[in-house]
Structure 1
Amino acid sequence: MISHLDHIVLTVSDLARAVDFYETVLKMDVLTLEEGRSGVRFGNQHIHFQVLGEELRNHAMEGAGDVCLVTEWSMDEVLDHLAACNVNLLEGPVSRVGTLGPMQSVYFNDPDNHLIEVSVYEQSDTV
């Protein structure tokens, strides 16, 4: 029935701060959505941001999100970039199993305490 994920929505306290974090730390492209809303794009996916109470159908609170993002960067590049951005790691690198197999992950919080996992899939020796 479902073919893919289009977007997720994260509830934030400060829209400009959230956009800046995802653009700077996670290198995502900024989106301007309808009615002055904002979000970010990476690949074919989006993250939309809402300020608490803005969307009456969504009862999510700030910090309720838990997102795993996959990168093509090496884990060393990820760690160097996060250190340069003064991101405090909560855990990692640690071994995990993702949708496509084994990966290495690091965990940290965004400014609204959403848990962000950045993962690098391990290279396969098979073709």
Structure 2
Amino acid sequence: MATIDHLILNVNDIISSVNFYVDILGFKLEGEDGPFTVIRLNEDFTLQLAPWGTGGNEHFAFALSRQDFDDAFARMKEKGIPYGDSFHTVGNNKGPGVETGARGPAPTLYMNDPNNHLIEIRTYD
């Protein structure tokens, strides 16, 4: 079964955004990870706030079982869908890479959907 692992969200004002997600919605400020301010919603999902213009783009990251990850990777290669080992290398057709998500570092692949949204898949298995 797939789950949403994390979402990178571009924001105009980190401080007011943190205040909203923590003070109003009751989520937990986890800290900084590179350019991102990490807000934890639960043990399996984080919201990563990024100042507008931060590399990495807004994207959805899906956590898959190892089998589903391997199957999706095989289908991507079979269909010739460009992929990459990090968010800024889609099209290098290398990977998987390793990036940090809601449950820590894990093998990851990045690609664009048909609407050019950046999508990340990862497995913790």
TM range (shorter): 0.3 to 0.5
Q: How high is the TM-score relative to the length of structure 1?
A: 0.40
TM-score (normalizing by structure 2): 0.41
